[in-house]
């Protein structure tokens, strides 16, 4: 009686065969200064920016990273035309499902709980899960690999970039363009805005003159209105997290 009924095995086994483990992407071959091969998503880029491109260790304190990723996910949905930001509130404008599973999840949550509209509330809510979710999404497409680090009593998982060049690309691009006062494209304005409002901008402008910093601010201030609304709330949430921090 230990034999599996043939029908059941047929249903199950092909699935096992079809589902392959995520593999490291082929190292993109490109000339210096060219864009990364696959189109990147904002939260993934911000994740890279907030972590060391070699070791995957955080460059930014935990609550700022969490809220920055939450804001990046909301910005992705705004980019896709699903939501917008009016004043201090999020509005769902198109609840049709996005192709990306994480965007889909975030949008469903926004649509399912219409009683909460304050952007700050949603940043706090998604901030509790964004880190793991974005890391998982990046792992699925082979952008990062989880690795256990630390001693016995302080073991934790860091997500090590699969390819250092891909990981460093957003940093290099923003840093270079800002230092040379080149206008950023819309995507990079959003990314730079996230960095600015999580206080991550010093890593972009380390050693750069004050004028580069002012240039960064001006670029972000010229972002579309809904994005500015989101960034203003992000800045307030990160500031609030600094003020209300307690060691647990």
Partner 1 sequence: MSHSKPDTVSAVLARGRLGIPSVVFFVIAAAAPLTVVAGGATTGYAVTGVTGIPVSYLVVAAVLALFAVGYVAMSRRIVNAGAFYTYVTRGLGRPAGVGAAMIALLAYNAMQIGLYGGAGAVTAQFLNDRYGWHLTWWACALAVWAIVAALGVARIDLNGRVLAVVLVAECVVALTFDAIMVTHPANGTVSFDTLAPSHVFAAGIGAALVTAITGFVGFEGTVVFSEETKDPRRTIARATYIAVAVTGLLYGLSAWAMSVATGPDHIVEAARTDGTDLIFNLVSPYLSQSVITVARILFITSLFAALLSFHHTVARYLFALGRERVLPAVFGRTSRRTGAPKVGSLAQSGLALSVLAGYALAGADPIVHLFFWITVTGGLGVLILMTITSAAVIGYFARIGHTEGTWRTLIAPGAATIALAGILTATLREFATLLGIAPDSPLRWTFPTAYALVALLGITWALLLRTTHPDVYAAIGLGAHRDTGPLRTPDTAHQPT
Under the binding rule (CB under 8 A), the answer on residue 64 touching partner 1 is yes
Per-residue x/- marks for partner 1, 121-150, CB under 8 A?
A: xx-xx--x----------------------
Nearer to partner 1, 145 or 199 (CB): 199
Nearer to partner 1, 85 or 169 (CB): 85
- List CB contacts of 193: < 8 A, sequence separation 6 or more: 220, 223, 227, 228, 231
Binding-residue total with partner 1 (CB under 8 A): 41
Task: Please give the structure tokens belonging to residue 16.
Answer: 């096992």
- List CB contacts of 106: < 8 A, sequence separation 6 or more: 73, 74, 77, 126
Give which of 186, 195, 185, 197 is closest to 229, Cα–Cα.
Answer: 197
What is d(CA 209, CA 215) in angstroms, rounded to the nearest whole number? 10
Minimum Å distance from CB 66 to partner 1?
11
> 201, 216 in Cβ contact below 8 A?
yes
Task: Please give the structure tokens belonging to residue 75.
Answer: 């910005």
Q: Out of 62, 101, 146, 224, which residue is the one contacting partner 1 (CB under 8 A)?
A: 62
Give which of 184, 186, 166 is closest to 176, Cα–Cα.
Answer: 184
Task: Please give the structure tokens belonging to residue 224.
Answer: 């579309």
Minimum Å distance from CB 244 to partner 1?
6
Nearer to partner 1, 157 or 242 (CB): 242
Residues 205-234 that bind partner 1 (CB under 8 A): 217, 220-221, 228-229, 231-232
Cross-strand bridge partners of residue 145: 160
Q: Out of 197, 205, 212, 219, which residue is the one contacting partner 1 (CB under 8 A)?
A: 197
Per-residue x/- marks for partner 1, 96-125, CB under 8 A?
A: -------------x---x-xx----xx-xx
Per-residue x/- marks for partner 1, 146-175, CB under 8 A?
A: ------------------------------
Residues 77-96 that bind partner 1 (CB under 8 A): 88
Nearer to partner 1, 102 or 220 (CB): 220
What is d(CA 125, CA 110) in angstroms, rounded to the nearest whole number? 10
Q: Calculate the alpha carbon distances from 212 to 13, 154, 219 in Å.
A: 58, 39, 10
> 149, 156 in Cβ contact below 8 A?
yes
- Using CB under 8 A, list all residues that contact partner 1: 58-64, 88, 109, 113, 115-116, 121-122, 124-125, 128, 197, 199-200, 202-203, 217, 220-221, 228-229, 231-232, 235-236, 239-248
């Amino acid at each position: 009686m230990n034999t599996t009924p043939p029908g059941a095995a047929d249903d199950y086994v092909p699935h096992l065969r079809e589902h392959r483990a995520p593999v490291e992407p082929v190292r993109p071959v490109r000339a210096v200064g060219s864009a990364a091969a696959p189109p990147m998503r904002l939260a993934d880029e911000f994740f890279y920016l907030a972590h060391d491109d070699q070791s995957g260790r955080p460059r930014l304190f935990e609550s700022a990273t969490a809220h920055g990723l939450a804001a990046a996910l909301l910005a992705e949905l705004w980019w896709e035309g699903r939501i917008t930001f009016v004043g201090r509130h999020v509005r769902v404008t198109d609840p049709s499902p996005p192709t990306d599973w994480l965007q889909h999840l975030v949008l469903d949550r926004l649509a399912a709980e219409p009683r909460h509209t304050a952007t700050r509330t949603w940043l706090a809510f998604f901030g509790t899960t964004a880190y793991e979710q974005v890391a998982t999404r990046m792992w699925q497409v082979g952008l990062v690999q989880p690795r256990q680090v630390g001693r016995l009593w302080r073991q934790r998982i860091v997500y090590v970039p699969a390819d250092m060049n891909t990981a460093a690309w957003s940093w290099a691009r923003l840093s270079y363009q800002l230092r040379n006062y080149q206008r950023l494209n819309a995507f990079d304005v959003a990314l730079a805005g996230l960095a600015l409002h999580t206080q991550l901008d010093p890593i972009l402008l380390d050693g750069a003159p004050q004028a580069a910093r002012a240039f960064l601010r001006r670029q972000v201030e010229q972002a579309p209105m809904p994005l500015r609304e989101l960034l203003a709330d992000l800045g307030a949430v990160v500031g609030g997290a600094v003020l209300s921090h307690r060691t647990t």
